[in-house]
Amino acid sequence: MQLESSGPLPLPDILRGYNSIVPDAAERIFQMAESEQRTRHQATLELLDIKRQRVVHIKLSDMTGLWLGFVICAGAMVASTCFFLLGNNYAGCGFLLLPLVGIAQALRGPPTRGGNDEKQPPA
């Protein structure tokens, strides 16, 4: 007859057998299982904390990028207006196109690798 148990602890009859061979063996097995569970819970909590910190970092990085993009666009628009008012239309157009090209690239999305936009079926 073969007995099978699932989980970290053996069946009660097996624990009694261990106790008959080694005193307090069942207690030691319970302590080992509890220690393992604490370790796994701690590792899970640490992993969740790392993921939470990563999300905060990504959000901060995104907001910084948005604000820097806004400052660059606003500065280019102000410079463009100044050049137009001073009569230098070429420089005004150049500084006006700078934020427009940046906005167009942002709307287009990230560049694709390899230059081929079509999806290839898996081989």
pLDDT along the chain (123 residues), means of 10: 72 87 90 93 95 94 89 90 92 87 81 61 56
* Model pLDDT, residue 116: 55
What local confidence, expressed as pLDDT, does residue 53 receive?
95
Residue 3: the pLDDT is 67
Alpha carbons 5 and 7: distance in angstroms, whole number: 7
pLDDT given for residue 66 in this prediction: 86
Element (H, E) at 85: helix 25-85
The predicted pLDDT at position 99 comes to 83
Write down the pLDDT at residue 13: 85
